Amino acid sequence: MVEWPVMLSPGPARTGITFALGLVVAGCATRVPTPSQAPVRVVVAPAPIAPLPPPVPQVDPVVELVAVSTLHFEAGEHELRLGHLTAAKAEFNRALEVLLESPFGARTEPRIREHFDRLVERISAHEVTALAEGDGFAEQRPEPAGIDEILAITTFEVPSPTPQTTQAVAADLETVVHDINIPLNAKVLSFVELFTGRLKAFLEEGLNRGVQYLPMIQRIFRAEGLPLDLAYVPLVESAFKPTALSRAKAKGIWQFMRGTALENGLRHDWYIDERAEPEKATQAAATYLKSLHEMFGGDWHLALASYNGGPGRVQRAIKRSGRTDFWKLAASSRYLPRETRNYVPLILAAIIIARNPAMYGFDIQLAEPPQFETVTLTTAIDLRRVAEWVGTPVQAIQDLNPELRRWTTPVRAGEYELKLPPGTADIVRARLAQTDPAELAPLNWYTVKKGETLLSIAKKLKVSRTDLAEANYLSTRARLQSGQRLVIPRAPALLLAARPETPPPAVEPPSEPVVVAVSDTGPEVTPARPASITYRVKRGDTLSSIARLYRTTVASLKAWNRLRSNSIKVGQRLTIFTDRAATATS
């Protein structure tokens, strides 16, 4: 507020003010002011001042460009987590391209150059990880088998049954009809106590996982005339994990050893391990259990003991002891190992609880069996490509096809039915029809030259001779013929960069920029434009070999030269930036 004095003196200029003051005086009966009084101060509010508009923020084009590039990079990482290598590659390349296509370029502005170099390093790190973990050559990672954990505990820490457990099991066995004989003895009761105590969470998790497989197992066992109680054997063996692998190398929900699996009709090769396919493994388990049952004269306890320890071991124990009853045989430690002696009561205790879980305090959730469609494949295909086509994580495809040991389906035509999420089979069929078969799987083909062997080719291509043989359905001692074609798994890395196992020693960059024109006699060095060199491609060169020569990456070469593929031609000129590469000296 602003104040200033107003003097009451005659004159036309005061007319309005005098009139207003007269109104005030007329309303006051106490006294009338006179001109001799002190001046009256009138307070007048100033007119409001309109606020200034907010300042328009100045956008830093470099910051904005880096943000766009970062968004593409993060999108690439998201696709990579889903197993979508093609989409990840596209996003990573776009993250570099937006920098290269900008008015600044990727090298002139310091902040962009720093971001570009960091991106190349991070993308290369992802690439190396992809080579190590998902190259089509490495086997899928298994889960630990439950049997190892259980048997380790039962070796030292089997609790004695409480009176409450004994009473509950006795009442249960009187009301629930079992189709194999379950005795009410201390051993079985002790394992019921263990499963309802320390191992309750383990058993409950296995029961909940097994709900989806039990209808299938019971259907097969019913058709084969087997006791349905035996459907719960996987509860102890694997907790119903299809990819469970024990320390003894038994695999699948039924924990088959490789030899036993082959004897009972399961396929096992470089591409496929049907021990991990629940339905096929269950059919094999039914066949094996029936043969054991017949071998031991219809005694399911001896059959179960031999399922764990092997029929030969149980037969030798019977012969040595003269005892044909499992419980008498297991009463002594002389004839059977502890694991086998504990195995049968473990199975029986699990069956007791699984048949009546609510009575023992278990909360089991209903679950539907996995739904799927199938597509018959006539050529090998990378599962990650399928996952991208149908818009699902690659893990979902692997979960439906756990028998696939690697990222690719088998190379033999027409012999693999790939399971797919419901509603996606037509999508995959359409994409298969549109895609060149050579682009479907991470496999290279090699033509054998005269005099070459599996060992020499394996050394030349830096792969295992065993893997090379098995990938081609050959023995390791197989003789090769000139002109024979072998499948060589290649690493489907994000940017397809081939990296040397040991990088060449660093070479100091030259003090002046150079052009390198490589001929048959070697590189020729001449002055060139600042901050880069130009490399002329010669016969036999690849992006990988050039990247190794200049201690950079294929990703950088492609980004710097805006290459959309790995193809290069003799005589083609490539730009290589000297702060990322060193000149060749020989």
| Most confident by average pLDDT, 14-18, 41-45, 547-551 | 547-551
143-360 and 514-577: same fold?
A: no
CATH class (in words) of the domain with range 443-489? alpha beta
Q: Tell me the CB-side half-sphere exposure of residue 360, using CA atoms within 13 A.
A: 34
Neighbours of 521 (CB within 10 A): 6
Q: In the chain, what are the domain boundaries?
A: 2-44, 61-133, 143-360, 373-439, 443-489, 514-577
Tokens of 455: 């060992």
Q: What's the CA gap between 502 and 228, in Å, rounded?
A: 58
388 given a catalytic annotation: no
- The per-residue pLDDT for range 360-387, each reduced to its tens digit, is 999 998 888 889 999 999 888 888 889 8
Place of tokens 């071991």: 313
* pLDDT for the residue numbered 526: 29
Neighbours of 373 (CB within 10 A): 15
Question: Angle at the Cα of 152 (from 146 to 153), degrees rounded to 5?
Answer: 95
Catalytic residue among 79, 109, 204, 237: 237
- The per-residue pLDDT for range 298-336, each reduced to its tens digit, is 999 999 999 999 999 999 999 999 999 999 999 999 999
Whether 492 has a pLDDT exceeding 70, the answer reads no
The mean per-residue pLDDT over the stretch 251-263 comes to 96
CATH class (in words) of the domain with range 143-360? mainly alpha
Whether 508 has a pLDDT exceeding 50, the answer reads no
Residue 560, SS3 per DSSP: helix
Whether 110 has a pLDDT exceeding 70, the answer reads yes
- 438, 445 Cβ separation under 8 angstroms: no
Instruction: Give this prediction's pTM.
Output: 0.64
Cβ burial, residue 52 (10 Å; 0-12/13-18/19+): exposed
- The per-residue pLDDT for range 195-245, each reduced to its tens digit, is 999 899 999 999 999 999 999 999 999 999 999 999 999 999 999 999 999
Q: What's the CA gap between 498 and 543, in Å, rounded?
A: 9
The mean per-residue pLDDT over the stretch 551-555 comes to 77
Torsion of CA 566, 569, 570, 575, to 10 degrees: -60
Lowest mean pLDDT among 127-141, 476-490, 538-552: 127-141
* pLDDT for the residue numbered 564: 78
Q: What's the CA gap between 215 and 346, in Å, rounded?
A: 23
Place of tokens 């990819």: 243
Give the closest residue to 425 by CA, choosing from 400, 403, 452, 453: 400
CA 143 to chain CA mean position, Å: 13
* pLDDT for the residue numbered 415: 76
CATH of domain 514-577: 3.10.350.10
Rounded percentage of the chain residues whose pLDDT exceeds 90: 43
> CB under 8 Å to 195, separation ≥6 — which residues?
203, 349, 350, 353, 360
Q: What's the CA gap between 239 and 234, in Å, rounded?
A: 6
Cβ burial, residue 533 (10 Å; 0-12/13-18/19+): buried
- The per-residue pLDDT for range 21-61, each reduced to its tens digit, is 343 334 444 444 455 455 556 556 666 666 767 766 677 88
Give the closest residue to 276 by CA, choosing from 234, 227, 230: 234
